[in-house]
Amino acid sequence: MTDRTIQTVNPFTEEKLESYPLMSDDKMFEALQSSHDAFLSWRHTPIADRAKVIARIGEELTAAKDEFAELMTAEVGKLLKDSRDEIDLCAGICAYSAAQGPKVLADEERELQDGRKGIVTYSPTGVIYGIQPWNFPAYQAVRYSIANLMAGNGVLLKHAENCTGSGMMLREIYERAGLPKGLFSVITIDHDQSDKLIAHDLVRGVTMTGSAKAGSIIGKTSGEHLKKTVLELGSNDAYLVLEDADIDLAVKTCVVGRIYNNGETCVNAKRFVVVDAVYDAFVDGFVKAMADIRTGDPMDGETRLGPMARSDLRDTLHAQVHDSVKRGAKVACGGEIPDGTGYFYPATVLTDVTPGQPAYDDELFGPVASVIRAKDDEDAMRIANDSRFGLGGGIFSKDEARAVEMAKNHFDTGMVFINHFNLAAPEMPFGGVKDSGHGREHGGFGMREFVNAKAIALAA
């Protein structure tokens, strides 16, 4: 940015919110040094004491829920109720990490074959640099930072520009809860500065959530400097509606799965692969339900779909819809940018979706659903896996045991939801395969991503 400032904008009113100066290189490296200096003490803080601070962060998040939720909604346009739910999830992550962290990170003793004794200890490594997106301003940052703080690391956050205020509030909450000042820092920098930061010796790992294209760039830059990465990237998650599915449940759940968070979620339901035997019944109900969704003020509890976070994101989505239609897809509902203020896009359903269309091949990051016809259950599974992505997915079937078998042995994704839609649970690993990235967060896995699994062997 030529004026070296970040400007946040309310996507509902299109009014400016706040301006934030971009850091100089010197200030950026000062923040890194401060995090490292705080880490040198934090790493030696007993795990039980670290857990107490993490637990208090969750309590502080809950206490600040209304204020934080309103800020997130103002910055990115998500429904206020979704913002409140997000804070609840963040508090749950803190509670889980505080309770399970001491167990996950505890030393392990092993008896070696030659009679020696071995100890595996999980040592913190240093400052972990996180590059995070705007769609979950609190959760995306909490997800990686709490795990790493519990592990004893320092954390830097480069948040998306349009939710800079949310990042700043998160830092205040962490420090109110007793986290040492400087250990978690929010840095306002541009992409060129980010590359310099990755190269610095004090950065010991890089985690990023965003598009596959951005992940490839970050992965390449990190690899050049031999920095480990965790990458949680985009996806076009397929939800299978099998012949024995409860169609009413599938319709209701798939609508929620597509429009949750205004459709701007990596693990949203995006492709709906429906077997021929129930295709017409599902499409009839699904299109009607999507067409009935109304957009409005995200602060209003009656609104079901708020504005998209930025105008350029809406333009990109509309171009993908337009290109898909040119290549043979049909618009069953929606598909037009409305007049008026706010970055709104209607709930949209595309049918006749086939390979070669953006609606089939790419991620549509907004409230647009792609419906794909399959011959039978086997063909539906083939279509689901016919993607370069592999974050999540779902199966609707009354035969739960068979659905579990399909999920375990055939679905090529990191997560599968059976007869429901969900985003994340603190107790379960979160992450994907293929172009959806690598590494895991949640479920204790994130606490071990950026630690040194150190082997200590004693003489016999």
Instruction: Identify any residues that bridge with 124 across adjacent strands, giving them in sequence order.
Output: 451
| pLDDT the model gives residue 70 | 98
Mean per-residue pLDDT, 399-417: 98
Helix (H, G, I), strand (E, B) or coil at 337: coil
Structure tokens given for 304: 């079901």
What's the rounded Cα separation, in Å, for the pair 179 and 386? 45
pLDDT digits (tens, 9 = 90+) for 136-187: 999 999 999 999 999 999 999 999 999 999 999 999 999 999 999 999 999 9
C-beta of residue 273 within 8 angstroms of C-beta of residue 238: yes
| pLDDT the model gives residue 226 | 97
- Max CA separation in the chain (angstroms): 78
Task: Find where tokens 């990458």 sit.
Answer: 231
C-beta of residue 130 within 8 angstroms of C-beta of residue 78: no
What's the rounded Cα separation, in Å, for the pair 30 and 427? 35
**Among candidates 232, 225, 186, 189, which has minimal Cα distance to 207?**
232
Write the secondary structure of 62-108 as one string of H (helix), E (strand) and C (coil).
HHCHHHHHHHHHHHHCCCHHHHHHHHHHHHHHHHHHHHHHHHHCCCE
| pLDDT the model gives residue 460 | 86
Mean per-residue pLDDT, 93-107: 98
| pLDDT the model gives residue 217 | 97
Count of C-beta atoms within a 10 Å radius of residue 319: 11
Residues annotated as catalytic are 232, 266
Structure tokens given for 253: 């759940």
Q: Is the pLDDT of residue 407 over 80?
A: yes
C-beta of residue 395 within 8 angstroms of C-beta of residue 407: yes
Q: At what angle do helices 25-42 and 191-199 cross, to 10 degrees?
A: 40
Q: Are strands 228-232 and 154-158 parallel, antiparallel or unpaired?
A: unpaired
pLDDT digits (tens, 9 = 90+) for 349-401: 999 999 999 999 999 999 999 999 999 999 999 999 999 999 999 999 999 99
Helix (H, G, I), strand (E, B) or coil at 149: helix
C-beta of residue 142 within 8 angstroms of C-beta of residue 125: no
Mean per-residue pLDDT, 216-226: 97
Q: What is the DSSP letter of 426?
A: T
Q: Which residues contact 52 (CB under 8 A, 6 or more apart)?
A: 98, 178
pLDDT digits (tens, 9 = 90+) for 21-64: 999 999 999 999 999 999 999 999 999 999 999 999 999 999 99
Count of C-beta atoms within a 10 Å radius of residue 305: 23
Q: Which residues contact 417 (CB under 8 A, 6 or more apart)?
A: 392, 393, 394, 395
| pLDDT the model gives residue 67 | 98
Taken as a whole, the chain contains a residue count of 460
The percent of residues above 70 in pLDDT, for the chain, comes to 99
Calculate the average pLDDT of the chain.
97
Helix (H) or strand (E) holding 156: strand 154-158
Confidence label for 102 from pLDDT (cuts 50, 70 and 90): very high
Structure tokens given for 455: 């082997």
| Distances 410 to 208, 315, 321, 380, 402 between C-alpha atoms, Å | 28, 36, 30, 11, 11
CA angle 314, 317, 322 (to 5 degrees): 120
Instruction: Identify any residues that bridge with 457 across adjacent strands, giving them in sequence order.
Output: 118
Count of C-beta atoms within a 10 Å radius of residue 328: 12
| pLDDT the model gives residue 395 | 98
Mean per-residue pLDDT, 6-11: 98
Q: Which residues contact 208 (CB under 8 A, 6 or more apart)?
A: 130, 131, 132, 214, 215, 218, 229, 230, 231, 232
Q: Is the pLDDT of residue 1 over 50?
A: no
C-beta of residue 160 within 8 angstroms of C-beta of residue 140: no
| pLDDT the model gives residue 24 | 97
Instruction: Identify any residues that bridge with 155 across adjacent strands, giving them in sequence order.
Output: 128, 184
Mean per-residue pLDDT, 192-208: 98
Mean per-residue pLDDT, 107-112: 97
Sign of the Cα pseudo-torsion (254, 259, 263, 265, in order): negative
C-beta of residue 264 within 8 angstroms of C-beta of residue 308: yes
- The DSSP result for 201-240, as a single string, is TTEEEEEEES-HHHHHHHHHHHHHTT-EEEEE-----EEE
Domains and CATH numbers, the chain: 5-234+435-458 (3.40.605.10), 238-424 (3.40.309.10)
The percent of residues above 90 in pLDDT, for the chain, comes to 99
pLDDT digits (tens, 9 = 90+) for 292-335: 999 999 999 999 999 999 999 999 999 999 999 999 999 999 99
